[in-house]
Amino acid sequence: MTSTNCCLTTKDFAVLEVMLERRRAFADPIVRMLEHKLSGADVVPIDSVGPDIVTLNSRVVFGVDAGPAETRTLVQHEVRGPVGSSLSVATRRGLCMLGMAQGQTATVEHADGRREAILIKAVLYQPEAARRTVRQKDQADERRPHGLRLVYSAAADWRPLGETAGMRQTEEDDPGPSAA
């Protein structure tokens, strides 16, 4: 895999480190590519990754060589999502795309020696950018994070010592003999 640079979030970096350790145990051919990706990566905190960077669970439009554009969600494991809509980072293409920026091209070499150029055309959705947008909107609306709403507050129910609470039921509360 050749690329000018790669920007990984701390989470994505940790996922790749675990993947590398597991793959080394089985002498997987993708180990060399994982080592190259991890050694050349710029690692940034999750909250400061650019919105045009491909991260795990990002929805990406990309082209392979001169072929038609494809849209996939970059996932950690193949089983997530409908068939054909996701691309695992356990594949050479998926691993190559992780950390790339919109407009960036990288070349990936397959086990059979075949090379293909991958161009990131667009990052349609990035979970980190979406999370930042929601937080900014919540702060602007002066709401609690993630749209949570306070239902009960013990502090608002505070009364000075010795003060009695008002009665909850003001109507007749005797159900009569039929309740027995």
Q: Over pLDDT 70: what percentage of the chain?
A: 74
Identify the sign of the CA torsion 32, 51, 56, 117: negative
Question: Burial of 143 by CB count in 10 Å (0-12 exposed, 13-18 middle, 19+ buried)?
Answer: middle
Name the nearest CA neighbour of 53 among 20, 85, 13, 1: 13
Q: Say if residue 3's pLDDT is above 50.
A: no
Q: What is the pLDDT of residues 90-102, one digit of tens each?
A: 999 999 999 999 9
Q: What is the pLDDT of residues 5-58, one digit of tens each?
A: 799 999 999 999 999 999 888 888 899 999 999 999 999 999 899 999 999 999
Give the C-alpha separation, 102 to 55, whole Å.
11
Helix, strand, coil abundance in the chain, percent, nearest 5: 30, 25, 45
- pTM above threshold 0.85: no
Give the C-alpha separation, 62 to 71, whole Å.
6
Fold category of 6-131 in CATH? Chitinase A; domain 3 (3.10.50)
Return the higher-pLDDT residue of 86 and 160. 86
Helices 10-25 and 31-39, packing angle to 10 deg? 150
Q: What is the pLDDT of residues 136-153, one digit of tens each?
A: 887 777 665 555 666 766
Query: Is residue 14 classed as helix, strand or coil in its secondary structure?
Result: helix
